[in-house]
Chain A
Amino acid sequence: MENRQTTSALLIVGHGSTVNPDSSAPTLAYAAEIRRRHFFVDVACAFWKEEPSLRDARFFFDDSAIKEVYVVPNFISEGYFTQTVIPRELELGGRITNRGNGQTWKYCEPVGNDSEMTELLLKRAKEIAPEAPAGSTTLIIAAHGTDLNENSAGAAKREAEKIRKLDRYAAVLNLYMEEPPLITHWMKLTDTKNVVVVPFFISDGLHSYEDIPVMLGIAKKRSALNLSAAARDEIFRQNPYKIGNRSLYYASAIGTEPQLADIIIKQVARFDCGSEGSLPTS
């Protein structure tokens, strides 16, 4: 992939939140990291529920040197946001939009579609349970499900199928908060000594701090968003949780992996290749 330092800009789109202070943090951090690599003329973020808004982003990148703007949704899957909200708010006509100012805006795939998500899930699972032999461990990919906005269930299922084929873990399950197979039933659905749970979300929030831990039986309802950041993170630091004769390991949201910055850049390469592109060297 050619160096885009002189003519391309990058817009990373996140969901953001009006209640969760941690929602936009990964997206902002990836933007700062990619900016440090000087790979694009400009790197900016925009959010649906935070500032700057997607509407604001229409006024970014007015530098005449910028010929293309790559828009990468930092979302776990395709869905309502990637298909309806983002194109509408940014006034995108499709994959390629030519603006009146001569700029071309290129709408890339969401990061969750990238094949490297599988690697990330495996890496995260290994990191939080280094001592648990995969052969006696069940890996659970925990997603939202029944989600009008994102097809998170489908994406988690796809990842689980890919990891199952690798034949590393005793079992690989895709469980959901709001549709069967339910996370709450994890004890019945698993029979290994070790169980590793990775939340398939783009940022940590109420779901990963509280809802899923409550469903797993490792936390009580406690309005986690009112706690300090350190107190919220405690839930990820007490591994393994001993429940009966089981050891349960619980990870933070997959979207907080620093490697996501590479995956964001990769979506730009993929756009230009029309397929899986190779990672640029920076």
Chain B
Amino acid sequence: MPDSIERALAAALTDACYFGQILIRKAGENGFVLCHRDDQGFDGLRLFQNPEDAIEISKFDDIENYRPLKTAPNLSRGWQLAVVDLSDLRRALDYFYPGRLAALVAWKENRLKTTPLRQTLDRQSGMYRIAAKISDAQINSLVGDFCRSDGGCLRAILWKRNESGIIPSTKLPPEKFEPAHDQALGPGPTTAAIAVIPLLCQEACNLLVAAARKVVKGE
């Protein structure tokens, strides 16, 4: 029996849609074919058939650098992954963009709790405790740079800077906070030609916390 994530995924899927940098197309009765969205129509892609192959495909970028942030816009190209059904599709997408489908379902069901950045920073202990000392101005420029969709991260930010609801960074365009916007398209009001399943950020990731620590330490 499909669980709630598979049900939500099935509802969100159209014949072809984008999920971050991935193009998902329906194939045959139950199957799906995935590839990098910029590889659509290319011949000679390396073919994969196991959802677990997504682990290796998503591990390194095109110049063999390890990708610590899976939602960074540096997914490698040149591959095609065919999966047999919805459950394998969900598995593969969970490897490409870990945790994003669960966040999406929680968001659609109004269960997704967002955490203001200040709260995330104040919660840290050990070597990350010092990150809370970052100033508002430093947050403004750090987030504006670190999370930007062109070169940083493709998630739409749902969290605020603090509990009074201030936006995390004035340096980011308004659509960075808009789940319906196709972040991989870049800034501006352009909408994608095909449906987009959003990648959501409900709370600052560990990489941003680590970057805040570096700012405070002046590294």
Question: Are A18 and B99 in contact, with the CB atoms below 8 A?
Answer: no
- Residues in A with CB closer than 8 Å to B71 are 51
Question: Are A88 and B123 in contact, with the CB atoms below 8 A?
Answer: yes
Q: Does A56 contact B (CB under 8 A)?
A: yes
Q: Beyond A51-B205, A56-B99, is A63–B66 a contact (Cβ under 8 Å)?
A: no
Q: Does B52 contact A (CB under 8 A)?
A: yes
Q: Does B48 contact A (CB under 8 A)?
A: no
Which of A17, A32, A56 touches B103 (beta carbons < 8 Å)? A56
User: In angstroms, how far is the closest chain B Cβ from the Cβ of A185?
Assistant: 29
Question: Are A56 and B207 in contact, with the CB atoms below 8 A?
Answer: no
User: In angstroms, how far is the closest chain A Cβ from the Cβ of B159?
Assistant: 11
User: In angstroms, how far is the closest chain A Cβ from the Cβ of B84?
Assistant: 15
Question: Are A88 and B112 in contact, with the CB atoms below 8 A?
Answer: no
Which of B55, B97, B106, B126 touches A28 (beta carbons < 8 Å)? B55
A-B contact count (CB 8 A): 75
Question: Are A42 and B102 in contact, with the CB atoms below 8 A?
Answer: no
Question: Are B99 and A21 in contact, with the CB atoms below 8 A?
Answer: no
- Residues in B with CB closer than 8 Å to A56 are 98-99, 102-103
- Residues in B with CB closer than 8 Å to A84 are 125-126
Which of B52, B106, B125 touches A32 (beta carbons < 8 Å)? B52
Q: Beyond A59-B112, A62-B4, is A53–B205 a contact (Cβ under 8 Å)?
A: yes
> Complex Cα distance A55/B200, Å?
13
From 27 to 74 in chain A, residues with beta carbon under 8 angstroms from any chain B beta carbon are 28, 32, 41-42, 46, 48-53, 55-60, 62-63
Question: Are B99 and A19 in contact, with the CB atoms below 8 A?
Answer: no
Question: Are B68 and A55 in contact, with the CB atoms below 8 A?
Answer: no
Question: Are B99 and A52 in contact, with the CB atoms below 8 A?
Answer: yes
> Complex Cα distance A80/B113, Å?
26
- Residues in B with CB closer than 8 Å to A32 are 52
Q: Does A230 contact B (CB under 8 A)?
A: no
Q: Does A148 contact B (CB under 8 A)?
A: yes
- Scoring A21, A58, A59, A149 by chain B CB atoms within 10 A of each residue's CB, the highest score goes to A59
- Residues in B with CB closer than 8 Å to A59 are 99, 102-103, 105-106, 111-112, 202
Question: Are B106 and A62 in contact, with the CB atoms below 8 A?
Answer: yes
Question: Are A51 and B70 in contact, with the CB atoms below 8 A?
Answer: yes
- Residues in B with CB closer than 8 Å to A1 are none
Which of A51, A62, A63 touches B99 (beta carbons < 8 Å)? A51
> Complex Cα distance A41/B87, Å?
13
Q: Beyond A32-B52, A88-B125, is A53–B68 a contact (Cβ under 8 Å)?
A: no
How many residues on chain A are close to B (CB under 8 Å)? 32
Q: Does A189 contact B (CB under 8 A)?
A: no
> Complex Cα distance A66/B207, Å?
31
Question: Are B3 and A42 in contact, with the CB atoms below 8 A?
Answer: yes
> Complex Cα distance A17/B59, Å?
12
> Complex Cα distance A279/B206, Å?
35
> Complex Cα distance A59/B107, Å?
10
From 80 to 103 in chain B, residues with beta carbon under 8 angstroms from any chain A beta carbon are 94-95, 97-99, 102-103
Q: Does A231 contact B (CB under 8 A)?
A: no
User: In angstroms, how far is the closest chain A Cβ from the Cβ of B94?
Assistant: 8
Q: Which residue of B lies closest to A20 (CB)?
A: B66
- Scoring B95, B103, B206 by chain A CB atoms within 10 A of each residue's CB, the highest score goes to B206
- Residues in B with CB closer than 8 Å to A60 are 99, 102
Question: Are B60 and A21 in contact, with the CB atoms below 8 A?
Answer: yes
- Residues in A with CB closer than 8 Å to B55 are 25, 28
- Scoring B59, B97, B115 by chain A CB atoms within 10 A of each residue's CB, the highest score goes to B59
Question: Are B4 and A50 in contact, with the CB atoms below 8 A?
Answer: no
7 smallest CB-CB distances across A and B, nearest first, come from A52-B99, A56-B99, A18-B68, A51-B98, A52-B98, A59-B106, A21-B66
Given contacts A49-B206, A56-B103, 7 further A-B pairs with CB under 8 A are: A18-B210, A42-B3, A51-B98, A53-B205, A57-B99, A59-B102, A59-B111
| Residues of chain B having any CB pair with chain A under 8 Å | 3-4, 52, 55, 59-60, 66, 68-71, 94-95, 97-99, 102-103, 105-106, 109, 111-113, 115, 123, 125-126, 202-203, 205-207, 210
- A/B interface sample: 9 pairs, CB < 8 A: A18-B210, A41-B3, A50-B98, A51-B71, A51-B97, A52-B94, A56-B103, A63-B4, A148-B126
